[in-house]
Amino acid sequence: MATREQRSQRRTDGLTRERIVETAVALLDSAGARGLTFKALTERLATGPGAIYWHVPNKDALLAAATEAVVSTALAAGTTAAAPREQVREVALGLFDAIDEHPWLAAQLTAELSRNPRGAVTPRIYDSFGRRVRALGVPESGWFTATSALVHYVLGAAGQNAANAVAADHEVDRDEFLDSVSNAWEALDPDDFPFARAVADQLRGHDDRRQFLDGLDFVLTGIAAGR
């Protein structure tokens, strides 16, 4: 008869780190970072907590692993286009879509870049954009600045888009949400908010993805001019 230790070892051997991370991503998608607990994970995986701790020491490590897995998949884009500028657009859209699909990802990426830049995620993102920046002909002295500008724009714009989508989902449909914002801006004092009033109508029905790409082109044009 197998001992308890042997049975536990079999469960540990049959449970891979990849499967744990995949399940963690699914939990994050459905319940957010607060819903990702080792209790919920053990229930989904039908295993004991010891089998999970064998592969992942704590929740922070699990969140980092889930973030890296999603980001790695997103950054696999940008390989179909021949021109470096188009590759940048593909990589940027890959991250934009990943953040849109996984609402928890924006906050995790912010945490990774600010609190854990020595981890795998930050250099992976910088390397993916940086190699394309280098191929654009940017002088070496400008690599870090140009790449940082791209990274900050992409993550900031994609994160804001995801936050807006969550807010709209909790209130009304997207068009009604944008109409309410546009109406509020149009009602602002024209002396205090001349620009906000002027662009208020542009909020209505705008295409988030198109706006994101147009903004990216502004950044890329600036990088090319600086070159």
Single pTM value for the model = 0.82
Task: Reduce the secondary structure of the chain to three states and give it as a string.
Answer: CCCHHHHHHHHHHHCCHHHHHHHHHHHHHHHHHHHCCHHHHHHHHCCCHHHHHCCCCCHHHHHHHHHHHHHHHHHCCCCCCCCHHHHHHHHHHHHHHHHHHCCCHHHHHHHHHHHCCCCCHHHHHHHHHHHHHHHCCCCHHHHHHHHHHHHHHHHHHHHHHHHHHHHHHHHCCHHHHHHHHHHHHHCCCCCCCHHHHHHHHHHCCCCHHHHHHHHHHHHHHHHHHHC
pLDDT bracket for residue 77 (50, 70, 90): low
Average pLDDT (147-158) is 94
pLDDT at 6: 41
Common-topology check for domains 1-57 and 68-226: no
**Does the structure show a pLDDT above 70 at 217?**
yes
For the record, the structure tokens of 165 come out as: 């989508």
User: Average of pLDDT values for 96-102?
Assistant: 93
In the predicted model, is pLDDT for residue 188 greater than 80?
Answer: yes
68-226: CATH topology is Tetracycline Repressor; domain 2 (1.10.357)
Q: Does domain 1-57 have CATH number 1.10.10.60?
A: yes
Given a cut of 90, is residue 226 above it in pLDDT?
no
The residue among 163 and 171 whose pLDDT is bigger is 163
Q: Does 186 have pLDDT greater than 60?
A: yes
Given a contact cutoff of 8 angstroms between Cβ atoms, the answer to whether 136 and 227 are in contact is yes
Domain ranges for the chain: 1-57, 68-226
